[in-house]
Structure 1
């Protein structure tokens, strides 16, 4: 079942981020279906989180989509080449987001390999946020795209992941965020070879 927009408009971005573990992210781009099981996410909150792009009400051309109602894609570039796919959550004006960091590929793997320029399946296919977007064909062109439509969406197969199988740890690459860098808002599926290598 496709997750409804109300799922993304809940107020607790940390809980949303954790509950996305075990859900399935799909794209249908240029008529090609690709997707996989979400095994790693990170939460970013607009209040009391210096790592969040909307911290202190920051509103720019890049962050404007964050202030929309939850259920749309926030895609931006890092290092000038890697697109990162985030899902905006919460209600209008409360700019929270969940970064999808890694998936276990299950659908359209041959196309994923082509997009990633790989000859065989390995963790290099989708174990990292920049790799996920490449494999799924998500670029900055999909900034603002609904995640409950027919281009990008998430499905719930009614799988419950017990707490003992989810690792909660600090987020990656946000040393600039001061004390907020230690918040345990990175969620990973325990023992998955598809989670990103960053500690």
Structure 2
């Protein structure tokens, strides 16, 4: 077995779908970082950011996918890019909330939620509910990510720091991964449902983004 690509347990088509989907998420992260630097705004909803960061830590350093080193390093690339995103979420993310009490407790709340999701991700694997690539917990948090994006765009009064490219990249990236999941795990109905649900939520977000772009300022 090639150490970089597990071609014993996965076909070339499956590896191509999954790795391409992962790479599109890396590009999305890069755009989010660019917009943070330019606009001092974090596009990723704080609840999504906390869950995402907790999952990435666990699956980068505690558990390891069996798909080969390319996928191992892809997970770690998400984590290291997300260090910058999460640190700036702590710095600027309270712009996403309006309550003075939530603003006051925003940083400790984010840290707590991140630790809670990391522990949840760990226990899902330890109790045997998880797959070897971390897909069950990943798609669970992905539903939260997509749902939180919709909630956030319905509340904001400016699109400054938000990118339609990120919306398309995360939809297509996760969509390719979902196709992989359906092919490789054909009997896992939970995973299929979550993947389809994420896709529907992402389409709704893109629709709302385009609609709001006609109404709201972008700078």
- Settle same-fold status: TM greater than 0.5: no
Q: TM-score, normalised by structure 2?
A: 0.28
Structure number with the higher strand fraction is 1
Instruction: From the CA coordinates, give the structure whose radius of gyration is larger.
Output: 2
Structure number with the higher helix fraction is 2
